[in-house]
Each structure stands twice: as structure tokens, then as C-alpha cells.
A and B are shown apart, each in its own frame.
Chain A
Amino acid sequence: MGLRGIMNHFPILTILTATPLAGALLLLLLPAGNQRLARGLALAFGLLGLLWVALMWVNFDATSTKFQFPEQHDWIESLGAQYYLGVDGLGLLMVLLTAIVTPIAMLASWRINDKVSTYMALMLMLQSGLFGTFTALNFFHWFIFWELSLVPAFFLIKLWGGPGRSAAATQFFIYTMVGSVAMLLSFLAIFWATKTFDFKLLADMGQSGQLTSALNAAFDGWLPSRHDFLPLVIFAGVFLGFAVKVPLVPFHTWLPSAYAEAPTGTTMMLTGVMSKMGVYGFLRILVPLFPEQMRLVLTPLLWFAVATIVLSACSAFAQRDLKRVFAYSSINHLGYCLLGIFAVVKFTGGEEPWNNEKAAALNGVLLQMFNHGLTASILFCFVGYLEQRSGGLRGLNDFGGLRKVAPIFCGLMGISIFASLGLPGLNGFVGEFLIFKGSFSLATWATALSVIGLLVTAIFLLTMIQRVFNGPLNVKWSGLPDLSWPERFVVLPATALMFLIGLCPQILIGKINVTVMHLVEQLKF
């Protein structure tokens, strides 16, 4: 208990968030031109983050439902703003994902030649923003990091992206800001009604119905007094903020361009971690605070989730640009997470038989968040490698028969593709299976329709394998170099992790299960 006791008083979370920031500052102060130093330094700071998370992982008490490594200080008392950090199983998982994906993304960006230190500094700032978002427990504190993660992403797309980068970056920024401003307005209204920004307190109020009554009381007479209208409007604001981020169809249109135009390393961060910010928001904020409102609009929400799953898979099938294929595929995979969350919300809590299904679904959601983050980022990494070798080409029909000249590349990328598909034995299967198992009893029709998504995903992924890896060799690529040893070092650890989690998901479930059960019990409505 000694080390854990020390850990609980050691500001590990502040250090976690501050380390990449310190690295970014250092990089910005470096004289430009020393590229090797910049890359090395950035990687070192990225790996340092991994070290901190490993320390946290080892000292995490998997039997406690409380927020661990807590840090709480008053910041602006008149505004109820506190510097409040803590992690539970969900936070720990997300922080781990960030710590793993960031160094890999940096390694995938090794070939960037233009303004390297600025690029790496922005990556580190992005990592800091992500760490902050996943560990903050007070809205003021949390919102700062939520918004601050947008700025480096914007510049990364804008300055190092492809031909359509300006429009993509602007669209990404403004779209997300619209959601954020809606969310901000809603939270300010909540603050006015309850005088607190603390997520835990607000969650308690949400569960007991106090939040709704506080909102109604504070804004008496403003909107039509049909009982639930005002809290529903406030809910809609927060919902919009997260729906844009996940993204949920129809708020997804910013994503394909952003993913396609961004440089590889940035896309890896976008799909691997930033998209999880949205799902995290649903779990941490929206569902605990607004259970009544979610149940009110549940049916449309479930259909949105199904639309997200099915429509994006079909869109992926229609794409010709590999990056866009995987972009739409990302939307599809995150749709499963939302399906799980919405299905859990459907039934009043406390009823015993449903608790197991809910726990299964939520465990699946968390696992899917982690697994998709890992798998999708590696897939984009591979596409990046392909693009480098082909001189910028990344069309579905530009290649063919690559297996003959680059067997290791095709083999390893194939593993990732099958993981994305959900092949048993690899990581993608576990999350998807649990979500479907749990949701089937809770929301049968929605789940049944979502299976179409699985089928279409299988179709387009296998089509991709056929067009790119198999078939007659396209003579243009007969000299294509296979995966070099440094590149193998980048992808092998992730691939090993895919097998590890696929075969022994208990490593993750062990840490998150208590949190998940706690969430399920909390959601009594």
C-alpha cells in the first residue's frame, strides 16, 4: 500500500499533462533546422508520457470506484472553477490509449521535413490537451483542454496537409466550435441553476432529478412551460458538442476531408484519440447528467446510431481514396460505441437481469474505444507508408498484387485489417462482441440492423485486400520496397498488442470492470 499511498499524494496527473507541454515549449525554443534533435526530443517526451501512464497503471486500484490520483484545488471560487483531476477505469484507459498512440504517430511522421520542431511541438501540445481532457473533473478545467486540443490539430492539418488542407482545416475547426459553443452555453445555464461545475456533483444531481428541477426553477417562464422543454434544450446543447466530435451522423461531414487531408501522423491522432473525446464525453458527462432527457429522445438516438453504423459503412465501400475508406470506417466503428451507450440508457436500472447486459455493453464500449484507437491509427500508418512509396498515390485502384513484392507489408497490414473487421483472436472482436451481446437484449431491432454494418465492413475491407494486395501485380509497383526494419519496429508492438488483447482481454477488463459496474449501478433512472 505504501507506493500506492505515495502515488495518491504525488501530482502524477499534473505531471502527465505538463510533460508534453514542457516538451513542446522546449521544441519551440530549439533553433530551427536541427531536425534529428527535434524528432528525438519529441519522441522522448512522448515515451515519457507512456512511462507515467505505466506507473499509474501499476498503482491503479482496480477494486475502487473512486477517482484515483486525485488533485483538487480552488481556482476561481466565484465561478466554481476548480483545478480538479482524477482517473477512474475509463480515464485510465483513455490516457493509456493516448500514451500509446502518440509515440507511434510521431514515428509515423519521421519523414516530415518541413518545420519539424513546430510539427512535433504541436503533436505534443495535442497530447497534453488530450491528457487534460481525459483527467479533468470540473467543467471549467475540462473545457480549457477540450478547446485547446483543437488548435494544434487545426495547424497540423493546415500547414502540413494535402492539397485540400485549408478548407478541411477550417471546416474541422468551425464545425467542432459550433458544437463546443452550444455545449458551453448549456453548461453556463447549468452553472447558473446549480452554481457548480463539478462533474461528480452534477452527475449526482442528474441521477436524482435535481438537475432538471434546478434548471426549471432557474429559468421559470423563459421557454414554453411544457415541463421538460427547457432541460431538453440544455441537453441538446451538450449533446451537440459531443455528437459533432464522435461523430454521429448527420454531424459527421467534417470528418472525411479532415482525415484525408491531414498528414499521416495527425490522422492517426485524430482517429486514434481525438474521436474518443466525443465518446468519453457521452460516458462521463452526457449520460450521468441527463438520464431523463436521453430516455425521452432515445428512439431517435438509437436510429442515429444505426444510421451512423450502416451509412458510414456503405459510404466506405463507395470510396476510392484509401484514406477516405478508413475515415468512413472510423465513423462506423465509433457508431458501435454509441449503439452500446444508447442501448444501456434504454432500461431503468436496478432490474437485475438487465445489469449483466448493460455491464457487457459498456465494457464493450470501453474496449471498442481502446481497440479502435489502436487499430485505426495503425491502419492509417500503413496507408501513409504506402503513400510514401508510391509518390503520393493512395487510390483503391492504383495498386494490385502487392503481396508479391511486399509480403511483410501486406501481411502486417492484413492483420490490422482483420482486427478492424472483428476477427476473433484479434482485439476488434472483443469489443464488438460485447457490445452486440449486451445491446441485443436491450435494443433488439437497432442491434439487428447494425449487423448490416458488420457485413458491409467485411465486404469493403475484403475488397480492399483483394484490390490492393491480391490480384495481378501492377507492373508499376514491381520495385516497391517492403517494410523496412525501422518501420517494422513501429508497427510490430501495436500488432502484438492486437493479438494480446484479442486473446487475453482480461488485461484491460480487469482494470475497467469495476468502473463499468459502478456506471451501470449509477444509471438508475
Chain B
Amino acid sequence: MLAWTVYISFIGVVALMLLPASQARRARGVALLAALFGLAVGVVGVVTRATGMQTVVRKPWIPDLGISFYLGADGISLTLVLLTGLAAVVGILFSWNIETRAKEFFAFYLALIGGVYGVFLSFDLFLLFVFYELAIIPKYFLIAIWGSTNREYGAMKLALYSFVGSAMVLVGIISAYVVAGGKTMNLLELAQFPFPIAFQHWAFPLVFIGFAILAGIWPFHTWAPTGHVAAPTAASMLLAGVVMKLGAYGALRVAMTLFPQGLVFWRNEIALLAVIGIVYGAMVALVQKDFKFVIGYSSVSHMGFVLLGLVTINSIGLNGAVLQMFSHGIIAGLLFAVVGRMVYDRTHTRDLTVLEGMNLSKALPFAAGTFAVAAFASMGLPGFSGFAAELQVLIGAWSAFPTFAVLAGFGILVGVAYTLRVLQKSFFGEPVPDAEHAPHPLPPISIPERIGAVILLAATVVVGLFPNLLLTMIDDGFKTHLFDAVLRNGGAS
């Protein structure tokens, strides 16, 4: 049944292409319907889940090469499917006002969503790769056509970085396939295969970094701020919220399970890169003049926590990493929604100095309140999902890399600083009495925007107060056979 998340997205694409042109209203309605359906399927999947891994669809595809159409779900997949569902629905709500070529916009949007669902549910490496690549094309067009600042450059940079990463992954996957006898692309079977240690020493970093480029690992992260800034709101929400998680997920699902000894060999270096990402991302965010760039760099910083959690290789850290994937997905969605849709679409500026003089807290109180809550959630304030996630990552990090744990703590502090700075400048600045720029009243926040914001806010608060709702699922996911070797090699429980 979970496969329907993928199917309905692509059916939605086809439906949209068949719509008569320039019917914006119909287009967004169709898209919303598809996204809601996907979300509903995801929710039902979560509620009716069985322990361990379940096979959803398994049909031979290219039997001679051992490739099958193999979709399955465990706790980790379900968490991310849920995230995708939420992000998809909310993204459409925040794109309710798109008029130019709405049909194509939503078609590309649904194609992206479909690809993402596919990645999260694939247990055949070839299938996973296909979906992974499939997701890159719609991204390019979404940014290049409907984006803003530097959109063609941003789109191209993003696509190129993604392709380079995918190329690295492809080389790794094919080598693994060959070394394991060239018989199967089934992830579970391949994970059982004892790859030679020497092979793992180069295959692991190739595949891990290849995926992690999309997760924004330092120093291969530079596509992210540019791409996010260039993208239209819904696209940046999806990019930061979900697509970056594709990279982290791939690193976890493929690189770590196939090459557990390689992971142990390289974990300190990766942890170092992760921590640099956390601190560097935060420090750069602190000096940005463009509102969206602050959020873009903050994504790099938060994803650093995910990567750090992944390489702690103990169950608390790993759980924290996946929880952070979910949490940051929601929070990034909120932040980009406010910056892009609520503020930029109305004020047509993202320059913090100009915004500071606009006293937006009076003009857009709902946006101010939403951003304030989102900012505190982003800072990792307890009561919101980010705290629970970062807490676990840090506990896990204490076990594996105590020094990095302390550095990550420092990163949190810089996070507080840049978040407070941007909150202050964007909404709570001193109004500048400027006769030239007499502000014309800004259009109020529309109903779809409010609904979207409330959904995301509720999600982060609920998960913040009751993280067990997701943690039991996630923990369960890590207890499957797939992760046996990973956790055993990690040495700690």
C-alpha cells in the first residue's frame, strides 16, 4: 500500500499534464489532492506498521542482472515518508499563489515528490539510484524557471553537484555489485556479503561522500545556500526539508550498511567534517545580509548534526540523527515558508537592513509569531523537536567523540546567536521613519499559508514533547538485520 505514495505522485504528474493549459486553480487542486493522498497513505502506514522491515512490493525487473522492483519500509523509511507527506502538502499550500505556468510547476513538484518517496522506500540499489536521479531533473526546472536571484546559476550548480555525487555513488554501487558476484542488487542480500576490507576502505568514502554531498557535507556544501536562495519558496522548503535528507538517508541506508568496516575506518574524519559543517555553517550564517542565505547556511549547520549522529554508530546517536532529519525537515520548511512566501513575496526584498526598518512585526503579526516560534525551534530550545534530536546526537557523540561533542555544543551557541540576530533584524527592528519608502500596506497572510504554518508548528511541538511517537519507530528500524553489522562494529550499544 505504501507504494501508492509513489504511484499517486506520478499519476498526479500525468493528470496535470492532461489539464487544459493555464488553469491554475485546477492545477493546484489536483496537486494538493495527490499530496494529501500521499500523506494519508504515509500516516496509515505509520499507524499500522509491523515491527521490523516489511516488504511492500517485490517484482523482478531485470532478472538477468538481479535487479528487482523492490519497495519496502522499516521505521526509518516510515519516518521519512511521513516527513515527505507533510512537506509536500504544506509546500503546495505555500505555493497557492503561483500563477505563471502553474500546471508545469505542480507537475515538476509532484515528480520530485514521487522520486523522493521512491528513494525512501527502495531496497534495491538500482531502483534507489533511479529514483535518486529522477529527483534531480524536476529540481533543476523548478529553480531555473520559477526561481529568483541567480536562478539559472543556482539551478545549474545544484544539478551539477548532485550529478557528481550520483556519479560517485554509481561507481561505488557498481563496484559493490561486481565484487559481490554480479548477481543481485538487493540491498539486504548485498549487506550480508562480506566485502574485503581493502575494498571497503575506498568504496565507503566514495559512496558516503557521494550521498552526503546532497546532504550538504562540508566542504561540498556550497550548492546549498545558492540553490536555496535561488529556488521558489516551495522548492526551497522541499530542498532543505526533504531532498537534503535524501543524501543523509542514502549515506545511512547504502554506504553504512554495505561497508560497515569502512565506516569504522573513516568515522573520525567524517565526524570532523560534520562538526566543521555545524560550526562553519553557523558562523557564516551569522554574517549574512540576505535573509534567505541565513536560513540556507543554517540548513548546512543542522545537517551537520545529522551526519555527526550517523557516525556515532551507537543507537542513541543514530536515533537522534534520523529524528533530526525529521525535525529539521519541518523546521526548515517553516523557516523558508516565512522568508520566501510570507516576507519576500510581499516586500520583494530579502535585505536584512531594509527589512529591519520595516517593522514587520506590526505589519505581519502572524508571520512574526510563526518565525519567532520557528526560530526558537531551530535554536534547539526544549519543547520543540530539534532539542530532542540534538540531545540524542550529543549523547551519542559523547560516547564516540567527546571533543566533537563539545565543539558541536559551541556550534549550538553560534546557532543561538545567528538565529537571534536574524529574528531581530527581520521582524523586530526599529521602524525607520522614511518618507521615501512610505510603506504601502502589505497583504495579510492568506488562509492556505496559515494552515500550512500551523501544520508545521504543531508537528514540531508534538514531536518535541512526545518524541517517542517517532523514536519507537526509528529505534525499531535500527534493530533490523540490516543494521546488525553496523551496530556490532560500532562497539557500543
Contacts and interface: CB of A to CB of B under 8 A. Distances in A.
Contacts, number: 77
B381 A148 contact: yes
Given A174-B417, A181-B413, A222 B424 contact: no
Nearest to B376: A151
Contacts of B405: 185, 188-189
Interface string B147-181: 00000000000000000000000000000000000
Interface in A60-100: 75-79
B381 A151 contact: yes
Interface in B398-441: 398-399, 402-403, 405-406, 409, 412-413, 416-417, 420, 424, 428, 430
Contact of B392 (A75, A79, A181, A189): A79
Contacts of B416: 173-174, 177, 181
A318 interface: no
A292 to B, nearest CB: 21
Contacts of A76: 388, 467-468, 471
A218 B420 CA distance: 35
Contacts of B214: none
Contacts of B388: 76, 79
Interface string B367-397: 0000010001000011100011001101100
Contacts of A151: 376, 381
B98 to A, nearest CB: 32
A358 to B, nearest CB: 34
B467 to A, nearest CB: 6
Nearest to B429: A166
Given A189-B398, A192-B398, A222 B403 contact: yes
B420 A147 contact: no
B475 A192 contact: no
Contacts of B254: none
A192 to B, nearest CB: 4
B319 A170 contact: no
B278 interface: no
B395 A170 contact: no
B316 interface: yes
Nearest to A177: B416
Contacts of A166: 424, 428, 430
A474 B468 CA distance: 66
Interface in A171-185: 173-174, 177-178, 181-182, 184-185
Contacts of A39: none
A10 interface: no
B318 to A, nearest CB: 12
A110 interface: no
A178 B417 CA distance: 10
Interface in A239-262: none
A347 interface: no
Contacts of B392: 79
Contacts of B430: 166
A185 B402 CA distance: 10
Contacts of B394: 184-185, 188
A44 interface: no
A79 B412 CA distance: 20
Interface centre among B382, B424, B468 (most CB of A within 10 A): B382
Nearest to B471: A78
A333 interface: no
B391 A178 contact: no
A158 interface: yes
Contacts of A182: 409
Contacts of A525: none
Interface string A181-202: 1101100110110000000000
Given A76-B468, A79-B391, A191-B395, A184 B424 contact: no
A440 interface: no
A144 interface: yes
A445 interface: no
Given A78-B316, A79-B392, A148 B403 contact: no
A173 to B, nearest CB: 6
Contacts of B319: 78
28 contacts: A76-B467, A76-B471, A79-B391, A143-B382, A147-B383, A148-B381, A158-B424, A158-B428, A159-B428, A166-B424, A166-B430, A170-B420, A170-B424, A174-B413, A174-B417, A174-B420, A177-B416, A178-B413, A184-B391, A184-B394, A184-B409, A185-B394, A185-B406, A185-B409, A188-B394, A188-B405, A189-B405, A192-B398
Given A184-B394, A191-B395, 19 more contacts: A76-B467, A78-B468, A78-B475, A140-B382, A140-B391, A143-B382, A144-B383, A151-B381, A158-B428, A159-B428, A166-B424, A170-B424, A173-B420, A174-B416, A174-B420, A192-B395, A192-B399, A222-B402, A222-B403
Interface of A: 75-79, 140, 143-144, 147-148, 151, 155, 158-159, 166, 170, 173-174, 177-178, 181-182, 184-185, 188-189, 191-192, 218-219, 222
Q: Which 8 pairs from chain A and chain B are nearest by CB?
A: A144-B382, A185-B409, A192-B398, A222-B402, A177-B416, A188-B395, A188-B394, A147-B382
